[in-house]
Amino acid sequence: MYLYLNQIKAIVWKDLVTELKTRELFSSMFIFALLVIIIFIFSVDLSIVKANEVGPGVLWVAFLFAGTMGLNRSFMLEKENGCLEGLILTPADRTAIYFGKLISNLIFLMVMEIFILPLFMVFFNVDLIPFLGPLLVVIFIGTLGFCAIGTLLSSLSSNLKTREIMLPILLYPLIVPVMIAVVRMTGQILDGKSLGTMMNWVGLTLAFDIIFIGVSVLTIDHILEE
Amino acid sequence: MKNTSENSASAEPVIQVANIHKSFGVVQALRGISFSLHAGDFLTIFGPNGAGKTTLIKILAGLTRATGGTARVAGFDVSNGDPRLRREIGVIAHATYLYADLSALENLVFYAKMYGLDHPGERAAEAIKEVGLEGRMHDRIGTFSRGMQQRISIARAVIHDPSILFLDEPFTGLDPHGAKVLKQYLHSLHTKKRTLIMTTHDLSCGLEMGDKVAVQVKGRFALFEKKDNLDKGGFEELYFETINNGN
């Protein structure tokens, strides 16, 4: 177990060191998410539509698109110079490779999302400070579900020539229930409701998180095999 | 197939391959390869492009599954994906398996951690020193020449001190100095009784280094011999004759 955790830690450490040196993943995701928000700001008249109603959808579309970009890049790094084969040749359990990549992706996306929130506040003229605690909980459980299934599918699509197209095609239909739940929860939080009043949505999101992680653990061995 | 090699009866073979087949759709990459090697053997496999040499190495390393036959390496069935097998083997291939944005030291520390080695930093520095690149250990792999990357790749492959090493055309892209360093290093591993299987197109180099020789043609071993039983001067002629007969 100690070795298993150390192997996960080593993969996360390797990804973080690579990102700190290149800043490729963070900067591309951040700029993409920012552009999505700016485009929406110009297409929505906030004097007619309430920011609390349209904002959550815009925020999660930005996270979803930028996150997909990050997931695509994540396994591409492992394909360069055949590194994924090198990783598979080590005695690490395949699930350790999955959890290492999942945690790395989760960290990168969460950091990008935290940097996007203040800009969202400015552009939509919404004060998120009073709701920051529950909002961060919702962002965490939503991003966990997205990364859990996204990491599995990016490992699958990284072997395909059309990987940039295949990942969203495979990912978006599966992530719809989680996206609906987190958009609804974010909207209710901005309306001043507490997290306790939306436990059905929290439960649904957590259930999908667990299902996505469970399916990934059961299938990653076969996906990484060939 | 001509096979006049004598196996030493003293010990159990460390590599036993029996009637291995591999198909990719309708293409048959391997069509019944069988051989065995004992600890300390050095087998060089020659063959034209598309003969299935890389596929054979990948099956023995557990990177891909055979569609028929069995292969046991270090006592483990390669199709089971046993992590204990992966501790016993090292692989050097065309691809270096190194992260271009990390330094040589960071790459090897990462692999040392993945193998669960004690003192990964010290072991990584030691491995880099063994391939003569201690002066560049903090430089990014992406700034290294092909030959230098290959030397770090060798350090990566042996960082956990494997008893069996698979080398898939390791001399590709190396300058004469890099090739010399690699030859010396492989020779030192051979003298330490490591078992090596190497594929190469370089007839003189491969013949010089191995103690057993195979020529693979169209997914089969058309020749498998002890080097001592071959006429070194006439090997090139024998190689082309074998390929022509195999085709």
Q: Number of A to B CB contacts under 8 A, please give it.
A: 83
> Can you list the domains of chain B with their CATH numbers?
2-97+163-246 (3.40.50.300)
Q: Which residues of B touch A223 (CB under 8 A)?
A: none
A10 inside 8 A of chain B by CB = yes
Give dist(CA A164, CA A146) in Å, integer. Answer: 17
| Spatial contact of B155 and B130, defined as CB atoms under 8 Å apart | yes
Q: pLDDT-derived band of residue A118, with 50, 70 and 90 as boundaries?
A: very high
CA distance B152 to chain A (A): 13
State yes or no: pLDDT of B244 exceeds 80. yes
State yes or no: pLDDT of B133 exceeds 50. yes
User: What residues are paired with B150 via a beta bridge?
Assistant: none
The pLDDT value recorded for residue B152 is 93
State yes or no: pLDDT of B232 exceeds 80. no
B199 inside 8 A of chain A by CB = no
Which is higher by pLDDT, B157 or A160? B157
Q: Which residues of B touch A89 (CB under 8 A)?
A: 61-63, 86, 89, 91, 97
Give dist(CA A99, CA B95) in Å, integer. Answer: 25
> 3-class DSSP state for residue A64?
helix
Structure-token pair, residue B214:
């195979």
How is chain A split into domains, by residue range?
A: 2-225
Average pLDDT rounded to a whole number, residues A167-186: 95
Q: Which range is least confidently modeled, A30-34, A43-47, A178-182, B24-28? A: A43-47
Pick from A19, A20, A74, A81 the residue to mutate for testing the B interface (most B CBs within 10 Å).
A81
Average pLDDT rounded to a whole number, residues B126-150: 91
Span A57-82, pLDDT tens digits: 999 999 999 999 999 888 888 888 88
B24 inside 8 A of chain A by CB = no
The pLDDT value recorded for residue B142 is 93
In this prediction, what percent of chain A has a pLDDT beyond 70?
100
Task: Map tokens 């092909």 to a residue.
Answer: B146
The pLDDT value recorded for residue A79 is 87
Average pLDDT rounded to a whole number, residues A81-89: 91
Q: Which residues of B touch A1 (CB under 8 A)?
A: none
User: What residues are paired with B221 via a beta bridge?
Assistant: B216
Structure-token pair, residue A37:
């928000």
State yes or no: pLDDT of B247 exceeds 80. no
CB within 8 Å: B99 and A22: no
State yes or no: pLDDT of B91 exceeds 60. yes
Span B44-86, pLDDT tens digits: 999 999 899 999 999 999 999 999 999 999 999 998 888 899 9
β-pairing verdict for B164-168 and B89-92: parallel
Task: Map tokens 């990357």 to a residue.
Answer: B149
**Minimal Cα distance from B85: which residue of A?**
A91
β-sheet with B2-3: strand ranges across: B2-3, B220-226, B212-217, B42-46, B195-199, B164-168, B89-92
**Minimal Cα distance from B59: which residue of A?**
A226
Give dist(CA B114, CA A11) in Å, integer. Answer: 8
The pLDDT value recorded for residue B174 is 79
The pLDDT value recorded for residue B2 is 43
Average pLDDT rounded to a whole number, residues A12-18: 95
Q: pLDDT-derived band of residue B246, with 50, 70 and 90 as boundaries?
A: low
A5 inside 8 A of chain B by CB = no
Average pLDDT rounded to a whole number, residues A188-199: 92
The pLDDT value recorded for residue B121 is 95
Which is higher by pLDDT, A164 or A96? A96
Amino acid in the structure at residue B112? A
Q: pLDDT-derived band of residue A226, with 50, 70 and 90 as boundaries?
A: low
Q: Please, which residues 50-79 of chain A have a Cβ atom closer than 8 Å to chain B?
A: 77
The pLDDT value recorded for residue B6 is 41
Which residues fall within 8 angstroms of residue A211, CB to CB, at 6 or more apart?
none
Q: Which residues of B touch A14 (CB under 8 A)?
A: 99, 102, 106, 110
The pLDDT value recorded for residue B7 is 43
CB within 8 Å: A14 and B102: yes
> 3-class DSSP state for residue B91?
strand
State yes or no: pLDDT of B13 exceeds 70. yes
Task: Map tokens 């698979």 to a residue.
Answer: B166
| Spatial contact of A87 and A75, defined as CB atoms under 8 Å apart | no
The pLDDT value recorded for residue A116 is 95
Average pLDDT rounded to a whole number, residues B151-179: 89
Q: Which residues of A touch B100 (CB under 8 A)?
A: 80-81
State yes or no: pLDDT of A106 exceeds 50. yes
Span B94-108, pLDDT tens digits: 889 999 999 999 999
State yes or no: pLDDT of A36 exceeds 70. yes
ipTM of the complex: 0.90
Span A121-171, pLDDT tens digits: 999 988 889 999 999 999 999 999 999 999 999 998 887 878 788 899 999
State yes or no: pLDDT of B3 exceeds 70. no
* DSSP labels, A116-128: HHHHHHHHHT---
CA distance A62 to chain B (A): 28
Average pLDDT, chain A: 92
A88 inside 8 A of chain B by CB = yes
Q: Which residues of B touch A225 (CB under 8 A)?
A: 64-65, 81
CB within 8 Å: B114 and A87: yes
B61 inside 8 A of chain A by CB = yes
Q: With both helix axes pointing from N to C terminus, report the angle between A163-190 and A51-79 in degrees, rounded to the nearest 10.
A: 150
